[in-house]
Amino acid sequence: MRFAPLALLIATAHAFQQPLRPLKPGALGKKPGRLLAAAAGEQKQTGASVPATTLGVAKNLIGAGTFAMPAAMSRTMAPGASLAGGLAAPLAMMVALASMSAYCFNMIGRATNGERATLGEAWEAAGLGSTSWLIKGGTVLKCASACLMYGIVLADLGVPLVASAVPALATRARVLAATMAVAAPLCLAPTLDSLKPFSLAGLASTLLVVAFMGLRCFTPDRVAVAAAPAAAAAGSGATIILLSTLATATLAHYNAPAFRAELADPQGPTANRRFAKAVAGAFALTTLVNGLVAALGVATFGTGRPDIPGFVLNAYGSATSKVVDTLADAARAVFFFSFLTSFPFAFAGLKDGVTPGAWTPPAKKALTLGMLGGLGVAAHYVTDAGFVVAFAGATLGSALTYVIPSLLLLKTKGDALSKLEKGACKLITAAGFAFMSLGGFITAKSYF
């Protein structure tokens, strides 16, 4: 993982040396776009509306990274700092990075022009095939880290839930084994159409959990961690960790081609404008939810608190102490169901990258079950979701969010871009490499 910045630097140098090559119609093939059809429940013949695309992208963004925000933001503040003054700078960074991430997400839609493809295939079609293995490999690794985050959160939520019902079975290993067994049929499904009934569960459950956090913000006597003395801030690396966490919390760029391809009339004259509108709405909604979760968490637990769990729901009630909080247990149960039914969406990218179409169905099934088992084992030993969110965001997340989209747009639409936008693309590429190198090093150093 530590060589990821160097590998992407080689790819970048190669990319700038290639002649500009716009994507040709049909160059990316006609692979069925499953993501938005499953998320929005709309027919492929008619395509997705702007509101449906907005909700689809937002649901893809809001997840474990959202609930890592309180810990990441609190660490950047001095103990005892005022809430308004302490949150001003972190929230400004959140808005700035979300805006840049949304711009890069839209870049991919413009570069692929509604063709159905993966990010790696788009890179190949742009004339960069010799380095496409870096993009495909990075996407698989990022999907694997996302699946690992799901496993960590599911274990963190599942153990206390099982303990309240069957204490003898409440071990991390048993809960993870049962969770992966339940998720296996969904992950083995050839399409994601069967998950349509659960497509809105993620966003609805997130809003319910935010409402719970708001209630507990006004009843701090029910919160176990808030009773602990404030600790010193995490040091100068706290800001870098926050930036890495923010990068992961606004990362779904490997699915951008699918969202654009599923848009109604994805290659029509107004497609770019409609997609940009949907992306702007999705990132604005995500930023609003992320900011609200961060503010409620910091208001509840205080500033300068490195002891806030990476997944903030672990800080409430009976999950971490003898303080009984039935409402907190209900919030964890709701979020557990949401994560369990959302897990196959994250796993689909990993499965598609590791098991290409040439594999026979029995081999795909065996490898899929093997990957689920491996993720369960990894989630058993890697227990800090905050580290996974921050490190993945600093390295792979920064590459997929900033570096690859800007290079892809330069290679496919370079002749049509203004000097200002060309300069912006190059600046974003440089910023992405800075996040990857500095963020990965400081994140690892801070945690180990």
Question: HEC string of 292-332?
Answer: HHHHHHHHHHCCCCCCCCCCHHHHCHHHCCCCCCHHHHHHH
Q: Which domain holds residue 110?
A: 47-447
Query: Tokens at residue 55, please?
Result: 């909700």
89: amino acid identity, one letter? A
User: Is 38 among the domain residues?
Assistant: no
3-state secondary structure of 83: helix
pLDDT in tens, the chain (448 residues): 444 444 444 344 444 444 444 455 455 554 444 454 444 444 444 678 898 888 888 887 887 788 889 988 988 888 877 887 888 889 999 999 999 999 999 999 999 888 877 777 788 887 776 677 777 777 787 788 888 888 888 888 888 888 877 888 888 999 999 999 988 888 887 655 455 566 677 778 888 889 999 998 887 666 655 434 444 444 556 787 787 788 778 888 878 888 898 888 988 899 999 999 999 999 999 999 999 999 999 988 888 887 788 778 878 876 556 667 788 888 888 888 878 877 877 787 788 777 766 567 788 888 889 999 999 998 888 776 566 666 766 677 778 888 899 999 998 888 888 999 999 999 999 988 887 877 677 767 766 6
CA distance 276 to 14: 29
Residues 259, 53: contact at Cβ < 8 Å? yes
Whether 8 is covered by a domain: the verdict is: no
Q: What is the pLDDT of residue 351?
A: 80
pLDDT, position 390: 63
- Give, as one character, the DSSP assignment of residue 143: H
Residue 15 lies in a domain: no
DSSP per residue, 189-208: -SSSGGGGGGTTHHHHHHHH
Q: Which amino acid would we find at residue 313?
A: L
Q: Is residue 16 part of a domain?
A: no
Residue 52 lies in a domain: yes
Segments in 32-171 forming alpha helices (H): 34-40, 50-61, 69-75, 83-112, 119-125, 132-165
Angle, helices 326-354/201-217, rounded to nearest 10 degrees = 140
Task: Give how far Cα 232 sits from Cα of 286, 301, 303, 305, 341, Å.
Answer: 30, 13, 9, 7, 38
State the pTM of this model. 0.79
Long-range contacts of 313-320, Cβ-Cβ distance < 8 Å, separation of 24 or more = 313/67, 313/156, 313/157, 313/209, 314/156, 315/223, 315/224, 315/225, 315/226, 316/216, 316/222, 316/223, 316/224, 316/225, 317/222, 317/223, 317/224, 318/160, 318/164, 319/156, 319/160, 320/224, 320/225
Amino acid at 116: R
pLDDT at 19: 44
| Number of separate domains in the chain | 1
Residue 325 confidence (pLDDT):
79
Produce one character per residue of 4-36: b if its CB has 16 or more CB atoms within 10 Å, e if not: bbeebeebbeebeeeeeebbeeebbeebebbbb
CATH code for position 267: 1.20.1740.10
Task: Tokens for 255, please give them.
Answer: 């699915």
CB neighbour list of residue 393: distance below 8 Å, 6 or more residues apart:
65, 244, 245, 246, 247, 248, 249, 251, 439
Residue in the structure block whose two tokens are 């509604």 = 114
Instruction: Specify the pLDDT at position 303.
Output: 84
User: Is 267 contained in some domain?
Assistant: yes
Predicted pLDDT at 42: 45
Domain membership flag for residue 192: yes
The pLDDT of residue 422 is 92
Domain assignment of residue 5, yes or no: no
